[in-house]
Structure 1
């Protein structure tokens, strides 16, 4: 299979089961989204959690009504098949990962699409910065921290962050660039000593893959859309679906449409 170039081509390849990998670096220029799918009875509290924690949970779209499988603002999407890999949770526990959820779909499910840091990576690269997970061809490293999110109903938990290493001058430039993209996590939440936010071993991410951190570089951390998965584990809804970390919903929305000038 030739590498898909447009979001629609990539979603079609995913829908056919021909692409099941992580989506970092694919369909450059277009917004990728984190995913959370919950029963209607749990949706209002989760929406409030997103509103109270906009850095890790920037809400870009949600279902018009329970049971809807499309997200028209984001493109011609069938949410049951257009994500490369899904995680299935029962009572807050991860039960399995699958590549299609049509057999699990229910009429009471509500879909939330949240902004993803893959979107601002394009702007960093365009400015000449080395985004290490892209240059090394791996998934971005992600870590659970000791930083509390604001609770909403049963949803609570610790912030998850993604990390990219930069020299000090490049870190400052990355902050300036990402501040323009609040809809996809915005500016970093921490840089430097990972222990200050509860990360014991920078070489062992909780999700994704480790990347090279050179001697003259510091780790720079952004709020991450895997945070809702931690909140789901704490809330323990009887049933929930998310994306598998790094396996995002690729949309027709352009990254440039999210920039704040």
Structure 2
């Protein structure tokens, strides 16, 4: 496993250009700090209304931050030059089933009936944790965040449903409390966690073996804290089986020009 590179002073536009040029392909955790990152789901127009309803019914794992017009790969509210076809480091393409093809861009996939949904990401609140001097262990280790499929069911909308996916970060008990308070202020980055403590209570049999991402970094006495995750739509898409669907490779996010603090509530 190659450590994840971090460039603290890069802008979202700089990072998107680097991804578009193929010079950055890894996970975006810790990159362009202070800006909203987004999970991506792209579906045919015939499924867009049901998927929108799924997001509205499940705001914790699917907080919408942007939706494209059919056939338009741009979402101007998230970045003037942003292009859904090129600005994610790795994509997953599903074609009517649970298996997928991993591609570097959507040049050979894009259609004029596709609608893009950008969903908030917990990477966005990590910068506020670091500013508060709360260790974010997977960033310090140069790893992707661990993600797990749970036994927490989402609310179904049309063909979309299934279990919630969560991301996990481990902290000392005191830091866990502070992380909960800080994340709660950013509802568009999934807000407060959905579970704290025993992973078996939410159907996770082995914390050391995540379903997505890298193995967790745990210190003695750590408390595992679980946030709703924007990979949840990938599970829902596998169940719905549209003729074509595109998502991001977990951890390879769409980095926007919107400040993460813009997703905050309260002072």
Partner of 2:162: 157
- Determine the C-alpha separation between the residues in 1 that align with 2:230 and 2:206: 21
Question: What is the CA distance between 1:215 and its match in structure 2?
Answer: 1.9
* 2:76 maps to which of 53, 72, 75: 72
Aligned: 1:251 with 2:256:
yes
- Determine the C-alpha separation between the residues in 2 that align with 1:126 and 1:40: 41
- Determine the C-alpha separation between the residues in 2 that align with 1:108 and 1:124: 39
- Residues 82-121 of structure 1: pairs in structure 2 closer than 5 A: 82-121=87-126
Deviations 1:197-248 (A, max 9, x none): 0000000000000122122111100000000000001111111000000000
Deviations 1:67-113 (A, max 9, x none): 00100000021111111000000113232111110111100000000
Equivalenced residue count is: 260
Aligned: 1:147 with 2:162:
no
Aligned: 1:199 with 2:199:
no
* 2:231 maps to which of 226, 231, 242: 226
Q: Decide which moves more: 224-233 or 174-183.
A: 174-183
* 2:222 maps to which of 201, 206, 217: 217
List runs of 5+ in structure 1 lacking aligned partners.
none
Partner of 1:31: 36
Partner of 2:243: 238
Q: Structure 1-normalised TM-score?
A: 0.97
8 Å CA contact retained: 1:136, 1:211: no
Change (3 A) 1:147 1:2: closer
- Determine the C-alpha separation between the residues in 2 that align with 1:92 and 1:37: 15
Q: Decide which moves more: 27-36 or 88-97.
A: 88-97
Partner of 1:123: 128
- Determine the C-alpha separation between the residues in 2 that align with 1:56 and 1:86: 19
